[in-house]
Amino acid sequence: MAGRRNEREAMSGAGKESKAGGESRVAHELARYETLFARRTGSMKSSAMRDMMALTERDDLISLAGGLPDTRSFPQGLFADLMGAVATRAEAALQYGPTEGLAATRGCIREVMAAEGTIVDEADLIVTTGGQQVLDLVCRALIDPGDVIVTEAPTYPGALPTFTAYEARIEQVDLDGRGMPVDTLEERLDALDAQGLRPKFIYAIPSFQNPGGETMTLARRRRLVELARERELLILEDNPYGMLRYEGEALPTLHTLDAEYGSPGMVIYLGTFSKIIAPGLRLGWALAPRPVLEKLNLAKQGADLCSSPVTQMFVAELFARTSPQGGPLWLDYVARLRDLYRARRDAMLAALTEQFAGTARWTRPEGGMFVWLTLDGAVDTSDLLIRARERHGVAFVPGRAAFADGVRGARSMRLNFAGADEHDLREAVRRIGVATGEQLELLGALSGRRAPQDRGEGAQVVPLPTRETDARGRAGL
């Protein structure tokens, strides 16, 4: 590669622009690209998601960063069997498919949604290239520069770069342990209204929120839907983890509650196979009111024409299988994931209590994949991540990535408990604990004290009195 570069430079020297040569030309040409970039690229920054993705090919550290499910638990034999079944239909699998997705795959989606209590018409669905693409297509259909999107705070770190790429103005409403407080949302809507602004949609992750780990109460769900209808606002309900509940009663989706009012609805529903089957399939879906669906379909044509029939047929083959007990095999697999993740969640919560009791607060999720941890000490987790990765071989998502301003959440981190086994989870939490201690000592040394209280954030290295309520997590509040 170095040889190639030298060769190119030599050719450049012999080329027609050699007169201008040297570094000034290169600087000039780099500046030239700058003038060509779209305005939206100014707000495009490498989010925490970037590193998460980059990390997935490394195996020299324990990463709790990405929203990686456990893909080791997918039975090797079943995988080979399904791949073989897809191969028997090579002609169709290898060809383009319809933009809205294969009928068989949309049938599988109907099954997933029925298992969550929602009966849908397959014609209201579009298959997408992962759930992420739904965020993108919805923005493409709805967002002009300056349009408002309301999100929870913290919110899915991977959504923020998409929203800002469409030059949306993001308003965030703080979570309080029971999901987005709808009264606070109302106040915010009133304030926006006073400025002549009406959000294009409210982005909510009601169940086992990413990254907050908390679940919106039924009363709030009802009120949120009511509010959306009163004010004629769309809701984008992101529900990747709905089937991954480890305790407590299932709650109806916002879509289900909205449907009780009849059609046309105000909820665009985002689902995905990433967390219940596998992210490598890159298959998600949107359920949307027909006029919106039509725009999503047009947007998808321009984006990638269609999602892969190979992986769509893989899903259809899986859903056609029955378990030895006679039920759908995919439901067995999801049940197995639930058991696996429940044990991992418990292991992580135990490790956190051991490592961070009295020095941090964290959520206790009833499902999903994430714990949100906030340090009492004045450690910036973005800085901490560098130390944690480089010196201790452990990674997490720093909290700033979940806030639109990139400033808030500095003492928080998102921890994924689904992707690593219990041993690694314990070890990872231990490493984060050690890294945090080192960082606090460093801060103390820099400021001449152990606890940099001049930052006004109540940082303490010495354990605070155990705050039972906080240690149990906000979800218990």
Residue 178 C-beta: closest distance to a copy of itself, Å: 24
Q: Is 72 in the site for a copy of itself (CB under 8 A)?
A: yes
Q: Looking at beta carbons only, is 309 or 433 nearer to a copy of itself?
A: 309
**What's the closest the beta carbon of residue 314 comes to a copy of itself, in angstroms?**
7
Stretch that binds a copy of itself, among 77-85, 172-180, 355-363, 441-449 (CB under 8 A): 77-85
Q: Per-residue x/- mask for a copy of itself, residues 184 to 213, rule CB under 8 A? A: ----------------xx------------
The C-alpha torsion from 182 through 183 and 189 to 192, rounded to 10°, is: -130
Closest CA to 471 of 358, 381, 374, 347: 358
Contact pattern for a copy of itself over residues 387 through 426, marking x by CB under 8 A? ----------------------------------------
CB of 230 to a copy of itself, least distance (A): 9
| Contact between 308 and a copy of itself per CB under 8 A | yes
| 105, 130, 271, 395: which one binds a copy of itself (CB under 8 A) | 130
Q: Which of residues 31-50 bind a copy of itself (CB under 8 A)?
A: 32-34, 36-41, 44-47, 49-50
Q: Which CB, 292 or 394, lies closer to a copy of itself?
A: 292
Q: Does 11 bind a copy of itself (CB under 8 A)?
A: yes
Point out which span in 83-91, 169-177, 399-407, 469-477 binds a copy of itself (CB under 8 A).
83-91
Nearer to a copy of itself, 136 or 380 (CB): 136
Please state the φ and ψ torsions of residue 322, each to the nearest 5 degrees: -110, 150
Q: Which residue has the tokens 């509040």?
A: 477
Cβ burial, residue 407 (10 Å; 0-12/13-18/19+):
exposed
24 interacts with a copy of itself by CB under 8 A: no
Residues 158-177 that bind a copy of itself (CB under 8 A): 158, 161-162, 165-166
What is the spatial distance between Cα 125 and Cα 300, in angstroms, rounded to a whole number? Answer: 13
Nearest-CA neighbor of 438 among 397, 398, 400, 383? 383
Gap between the Cα atoms of 140 and 333, Å rounded: 34
Q: Which is nearer to a copy of itself, 292 or 351 (CB)?
A: 292
